[in-house]
Structure 1
Amino acid sequence: MSFRKPGSQAPSGYRRWVKDAAQWVYRRRHIVALNALRGISYAAGTSSVGLIAVWFQSRH
């Protein structure tokens, strides 16, 4: 196992992988945020339609 600095805990390949993954997430953060918002919207819409359907069935 090779280390860049004496006493460091993570191998350099691992550090590079973590850095690349962090950069990938940082570049795509807006896509993640939009997908989360879309999921929340779909869930709220589905719940609303379900509640209206239950309310309507209980009334008629």
Structure 2
Amino acid sequence: MQRTVNFFQEVGRELRKVSWPKRKELTNYTITVIVTVTFFALFFALVDLGISELIRLILE
């Protein structure tokens, strides 16, 4: 039991050392991630659509 308590105390000490991002930085990072994920989702959807059409043309 003491090992578990000691572990969580150490976790708490380490979390106090973390340099947490400011609100503006966090907002910028979040927007960057959302834009990047959206871009790649659209890109791969278009590539998938193109490949599907190409296969459909070949098989007809």
The two structures have a TM-score, normalised by structure 1, of 0.65
Structure 1 unaligned blocks of 5 or more: 1-7
The two structures have a TM-score, normalised by structure 2, of 0.65
More helix by share: 2
Structure 2 unaligned blocks of 5 or more: 1-7
List structure 1 runs of 4+ shifted beyond 6 angstroms.
none
RMSD: 2.5
- Tell me the percent identity: 8
Query: RCO (CA 8 Å, sep 6+): is it higher in 1 or 2?
Result: 1
